[in-house]
A and B are shown apart, each in its own frame.
Chain A
Amino acid sequence: MTSVSDVEPPPRQGTGRRLSTFLYRHSRLRLAALLAAPIGWLLVIYLGSLFLLLLASFWDTEPFTSDVVRNWNLDNYRRIFDEPVYRNVALRTISMAVFVTVADAVLAFPIAYYMARVASPRSRNLLVVAVLTPLWASYLVKAYAWRTILGEEGVLNWLLAPFGLAGPGYSTAGLWLAFTYLWLPFMILPIYAGLERIPSTLLEASADLGGRSVQTFWRITLPLAFPAVVAGSIFTFSLTLGDYILPGLIADKQFIGTVIYSDRGTQLPVAAAFAMVPIAVMTVYLWGAKRLGAFESL
């Protein structure tokens, strides 16, 4: 007796399977479906808002209500170039970014060098944790901590008082100290990674060929680690350029971020035009960094 159940049933054609067959045959569609969400996010949310900002910078406001009027003009850009206050603020912010970056590079290099080349594996791990720990603390806590440190009765003045000195207080110099502290880990980590990647064989070869350690450092280690320093500087430079909270808390003068923040409500187009300044600066900076090979070190 034969029964139907003895016959092997044909493979089931579920919707999922059919879909996967379809996608397998149409590779372009597959690719498009895969990338639609992330690329859509990047374009609509990220580039779209930047584009909107660019549009707004060519608009105008109604003087009484501060309503944005879509009246195309270049007045906002003219204002940013003509009025000395905007120029001063832009220059002040860019110099701050440069000084913070230099200070961080000078501080970070020896620490990273010690971590990568000198420290035992055990203490290296401890050091990495020590560098990372401050990143776990809230930005605001650190910012307010610096406000307290730099205050008239803060710990800095207390430490310096016996020597007849006083701290910088709430000033541009005080802001420089706080920024240098805040962004230091962002400089240490890329340099550490860069130094670790240098093959020790190169250093040994240099020594074998009679290179003294100072010579080896200047001619082998530093040139090979330099792209990593540039990579770190992208963080310290751009973070300083864009920050508005710390300058609002510590500085007595205005920075690009604080001006944009206070203009955003009543003079949105001016704020938008001014926001193009850091974007332009960063574009040039990233172009230079790419030429120096920083992106291979990230």
Chain B
Amino acid sequence: MIGRNVRVVRWAAFGLLVGALSIVAAGCGGGGSSSSSASTEIEGLGSSLDEIKANARNEGQVKLVIWAGYADKSWADTFRQQTGCVVHAKDGASSDDMVDLMSTGAYDGVSASGDATLRLIARGDVAPVNFDLIPNYTDVYQGLKGQSYNTVDGVGYGVPHGRGPNLMVWSNKAISPDNDSWAAIWPGTDYKGKLSIYDNQIFIADAALYLKATQPDLNITNPYELDDDQFNAAIDLLKQQRPNIGEYWDGVTYARIVTSFKSGESVVGTTWPYQVNLMAAEKPPLDVTAKVPKEGTTGWSDTWMIASKAADPNCMYLWMNYIISPEANAKVAEYFGEAPSNAKACEFTTNKNLCADYHADDEAYWDNVYYWNTPQADCGDDRGEVCKTYEDWRTAWTDIKG
């Protein structure tokens, strides 16, 4: 009897195993890539602003994937009071992380940078936006509308949030405040083991930009469009830099650079203006300088996008309208340290020079800030399809980190 029972259990287990695996296999067999349609319709979204406002009361929340600091209480609470939508925000570590988080379908929207937007659109994870339902869109700078990173085939996929430069930051005790070159983070630096660097393959573009200025014979025109030689030169530079790096930071561990500058573990590095603001808020404020050196810099132009299967589309539309309203846009721009996207926001900043400092309407300035972008095989010029793809960048970054 016992022997028979064991046999029964074995057969039952085998049967269940087969059953389970076929369920799992069936689960992966389906799906396939969903083609993105250009319709702005999202299930449950109101067709007028009034309807959206009424529906939002029922939703009561909006779930966002954000760059750290984009949904601080000081303006998210006002949004809740105005609309009844509670903001739940999750920091993305990098653009990759944001794409990954959005693919889960658990979020209503995202503040995507240019190296994420086109991928999100191609994946069908985000929907086009009906700008008629976003009144504040009229006041957005023309230079941010209809750009290659937020518009595909004339269809707009999001609301411009604002833009800013990645900065070089250094301790004034180590480097003179007058410094005007990225040289101190690259090979030959005097600060071995004291560099703090952004941890993502998009940083390869910063190496390429430095080479663009220092090795003109490589003919680098755009740091995201690198052919074999240019790419290898950038990777070489990064591999030489690797042993000098004291720490990496990303969109989740961004505060590391503040602590490490405070303790002296880092003395020079790359940063977002956001962390420079955090350094200034320390008591006493850290003695640092942050600026764009003469070789130029990379940067970002962010776009609020709505998930194509958003569970709370009405709150998300209200959020997209709210975050580019003059008051809120001024607050977030000042808090993070970036140029607002709404021209009227400049009246509402505490620092009256913010828009001038960040060149909010100075398109010529932004021509030299290379917004994060997704590298593709097509170089976008007469070289053809010889450029390194995003996948190559990703692999190279794993290799560089060692």
Contacts and interface: CB of A to CB of B under 8 A. Distances in A.
B376 A64 contact: yes
Interface in B73-128: 96-97, 99-100, 118-119, 122-123
A70 B122 contact: no
B350 interface: no
A71 interface: no
Contact of B391 (A44, A61, A170, A259): A61
10 contacts: A31-B8, A36-B16, A48-B20, A48-B21, A52-B27, A85-B402, A152-B265, A170-B247, A265-B100, A266-B100
B391 A39 contact: no
B399 interface: yes
Contacts of B123: 65, 67
Given A55-B25, A63-B390, A266 B96 contact: yes
A66 B263 contact: no
A252 B390 CA distance: 24
A192 to B, nearest CB: 35
A48 B394 contact: no
Contact of A263 (B99, B398, B399): B398
Contacts of B48: none
A88 B402 contact: yes
B12 A39 contact: yes
A267 B399 CA distance: 14
Contacts of A263: 394, 398
Interface string B207-244: 00000000000000000000000000000000000000
B41 to A, nearest CB: 23
B122 A64 contact: yes
Contacts of B100: 264-266
Interface residues of B, dominant DSSP:
helix
Nearest to B122: A65
B5 A51 contact: no
A204 B297 CA distance: 77
Interface in A88-137: 88-89
Given A43-B20, A47-B20, A88-B402, A64 B12 contact: no
A262 B123 CA distance: 20
Contact of B23 (A44, A170, A253): A44
Given A44-B20, A65-B119, A253-B402, A152 B264 contact: yes
Task: Determine the interface band of chain B, counting residues with CB < 8 A from chain A.
Answer: 35 or more
Given A43-B20, A70-B28, A265 B265 contact: no
Contacts of B40: none
A243 B22 CA distance: 31
A49 B25 CA distance: 10
A25 interface: no
Contacts of A293: none
Contacts of B12: 31-32, 35, 39
Nearest to A56: B28
Contacts of B96: 66, 265-266
A254 B8 contact: no
Interface in B257-312: 260, 263-265
Contacts of A47: 17, 20
A27 B5 contact: yes
Given A31-B12, A63-B390, 8 more contacts: A28-B8, A49-B24, A63-B389, A64-B119, A64-B374, A66-B391, A70-B29, A265-B100
Given A63-B391, A65-B122, A254 B402 contact: yes
A14 B377 CA distance: 73
A169 to B, nearest CB: 8
B199 to A, nearest CB: 8
A288 interface: no
Contacts of A242: none
Contacts of A32: 8, 12
Interface of A: 27-28, 31-32, 35-36, 39-40, 43-44, 47-49, 51-52, 55-56, 61-67, 70, 83, 85, 88-89, 151-153, 170, 252-254, 259, 262-267
A48 B122 CA distance: 30
A266 B395 CA distance: 10
A61 B389 CA distance: 12
B57 interface: no
Interface string B1-23: 00001001100110011001101
Nearest to B259: A151
B265 A64 contact: no
Nearest to A79: B395
B16 A43 contact: yes
B28 A52 contact: yes
A151 B394 contact: no
A216 B5 CA distance: 46
B394 A39 contact: no
B99 A66 contact: yes
Contact of B13 (A43, A70, A83, A151): A43
Contacts of A252: 245-247
Contact of B394 (A27, A44, A52, A266): A266
Nearest to B266: A152
Nearest to A40: B16
A140 to B, nearest CB: 13
Contacts of A52: 24, 27-28
B263 A153 contact: yes
B253 to A, nearest CB: 8
Contacts of B118: 64
B263 A83 contact: no
B265 A259 contact: no
A64 B264 contact: no
A153 B23 CA distance: 54
Given A44-B23, A254-B401, A64 B9 contact: no
A286 B8 CA distance: 27
A13 B347 CA distance: 83
Nearest to A86: B398
B391 A48 contact: no
Contacts of B398: 85, 254, 259, 262-263
A51 B265 contact: no
Contacts of B265: 151-152
Contacts of A27: 5
A51 B265 CA distance: 44
A266 B115 CA distance: 13
